[in-house]
Amino acid sequence: MSDLRVAVLGVGVMGADHVARLTTKISGARVAVVNDFVTEKAEQIAAGIDGCRAITDPLDAIADPDVDAVVLATPGPTHEKQLLACLEHGKPVLCEKPLTTDVATSLEVVKREAELGRRLIQVGFMRRFDHEYARLKALLDSGELGRALVLHCAHRNPAVPPYFDSAMIVRDSLVHEVDVTRFLFDEEITSIQIVKPAASPGAPEGLADPQIAIMRTASGRHVDVELFVTTGVAYEVRTEVVAEKGSAMIGLDVGLVRTRGDGTRGGQITPGFRERFGQAYDTEFQRWVDAVHRGSATGDFTDGPSAWDGYAAAAVCEAGVESLDSGLPVEVAMVDRATIAGA
Ligand SMILES: NC(=O)c1ccc[n+]([C@@H]2O[C@H](COP(=O)([O-])OP(=O)(O)OC[C@H]3O[C@@H](n4cnc5c(N)ncnc54)[C@H](O)[C@@H]3O)[C@@H](O)[C@H]2O)c1
């Protein structure tokens, strides 16, 4: 089977990583085209890869006859137009989260894909591909712990860029726990409340950090998430499920070297997202490439989070931002999936 010719749009932090990943680690694909708003950046990256071209217009890159599939690593506000172009040209696309930046356009994308009768859009919620999350999901599905009742999560970053505001803690950070909740529990989130404790003295002026998110699922399960994005320490993502017959926790020992000789134990917490989730991105991309190769036969060019998952996450985050302002629990407004044939 010939290599999938991939166009990567947006070669900033994530896109440049994905180009390197596709070039050095993933089999069955190569980067044929790169595009970036900053043309020189794309040209520089293309020059380092055999058979790769820089194309200035993102829509031309998607339409190019020598492009089989697309990776979107552009900023969220550009996704809607680029996703619709991928659908129009029938090109499979792995879109970094978010699907789009608002609920209405996310729903429109879901509907447009459903009309095609082929699954072309995968959203980059990569935690589903992390070995620890996959094992936790398998454990829950095995029934060994009985019914899962409660999810406790912590999401801590050492620092965030200066433009990061309080709503981005919901839309860019919490969004991952939103997807994790839906993945682990296989049901929708129906309400969300954001609680704002006293801000950390280390947080920039005006940033509500930390935040506590409290969510409830359709069957009444409870989820709480501590979000703290300016810890100054390390990148810690912990997830604990409390179930009827026991509990299970992941994210505690990643990269941890236990030392007990002097009566203490300790080690290093993963310093950044690459150390914590590098494997998850690699697995996500390999499985996506494999799914696209199978797609012509199956009609499904994805293996993972769908456009619907992107829409659901947008709906929960929208309600979360409303609660961030009011402090009150907010019901999540979503359409009934059954009303969209093929979604
Ligand atoms: N899955 C994850 O864990 C994760 C982590 C970080 C970011 N992201 C997502 O990845 C995407 C990119 O984030 P990033 O951190 O790499 O951002 P970034 O700012 O580092 O990179 C974005 C790049 O896109 C380029 N760009 C801007 N507008 C464009 C357009 N219209 N067409 C083509 N290129 C354009 C910019 O010049 C820049 O090089 C965002 O959607 C973000 O939410 C996902």
pLDDT tens digits, 16-27: 999 999 999 999
pLDDT digits (tens, 9 = 90+) for 261-314: 566 666 678 889 999 999 999 999 999 999 999 999 999 999 999 999 999 999
Instruction: Report the nearest atom of ligand 1 relative to the CA of 124.
Output: 1
Neighbour tally for 327: CB within 10 Å: 10
Ligand 1 in reach of 179 Cβ (< 6 A) = no
> Is 155:173 a contact under the CB 8 Å cutoff?
yes
Cα(291)–Cα(310) distance, integer angstroms: 19
- Cβ–ligand 1 contact at 10 (below 6 Å): yes
CA atoms within 13 Å, Cβ hemisphere of 310: 32
Q: Is 35 in the pocket of ligand 1 (CB under 6 A)?
A: yes
**Spacing, Cα 73 to ligand 1 middle (Å):** 5
Q: What are phi and psi of 214, to 5 degrees?
A: -120, 120
Which pLDDT value is given to residue 215?
99
Which residue's CA is minimally distant from atom 33 of ligand 1? 36
Q: Each residue of 55-79: pLDDT tens digit?
A: 999 999 999 999 999 999 999 999 9
Phi, psi dihedral angles at 25 (to 5 degrees): -120, -25
Kindly indicate the confidence band of residue 1, based on its pLDDT and cuts at 50, 70 and 90: confident
- Ligand 1 and 75: CB distance under 6 A: yes
Position 100, amino acid: T
Residues 200 and 210: their CA atoms lie apart, in Å, by 7
Give the residue whose CA is nearest to atom 24 of ligand 1. 10
14 pocket-lining for ligand 1 (C-beta < 6 Å): yes
Q: Whose CA is nearest to atom 30 of ligand 1?
A: 37
Q: Is the pLDDT of residue 254 over 70?
A: no
